[in-house]
């Protein structure tokens, strides 16, 4: 995913998000030593702008304020296909 680590971040950041045993995780080797469960992140962190999967790019809507909102989509960590 590509987005902002916080609402006030001036630059974009990239991280990997995956689902394991029904729970979504963030792998951010730039800022974190270990994977972080999405449901443990604060609402103002990891704000997605774009995500990629299976040859497709997704643009996330402004209503999705963080990755917890993205992860709540059934079976998919991505927003509307654009």
In order, the DSSP letters of 38-53 are GGGS-TTEEEEEEEEE
3-class SS of residue 69: helix
Its pTM stands at 0.72
What is the rounded CA–CA span in Å between residue 9 and residue 78?
21
Q: Kindly list the domain boundaries of the chain, sorted by start residue.
A: 2-71
pLDDT-based confidence at 80, cuts 50/70/90?
A: very low
Say if strands 23-27 and 16-20 run parallel, antiparallel, or are unpaired.
antiparallel
Confirm if 50 and 12 have CB atoms less than 8 A apart.
no
- The per-residue pLDDT for 18 is 87
Task: List, for residues 25-67, the tens digit of each pLDDT value.
Answer: 999 999 999 999 999 998 888 988 888 888 888 888 765 566 7
């Amino acid at each position: 995913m590509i987005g902002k680590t916080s609402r006030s971040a001036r630059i974009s950041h990239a991280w990997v998000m995956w689902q394991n045993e029904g729970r979504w995780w963030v792998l951010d080797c730039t800022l974190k030593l270990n994977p972080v469960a999405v449901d443990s992140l604060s609402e103002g962190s990891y704000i997605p702008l774009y995500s990629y999967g299976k040859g497709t790019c997704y643009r996330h809507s402004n209503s999705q304020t963080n990755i917890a909102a993205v992860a709540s989509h059934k079976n998919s960590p991505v927003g509307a296909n654009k």
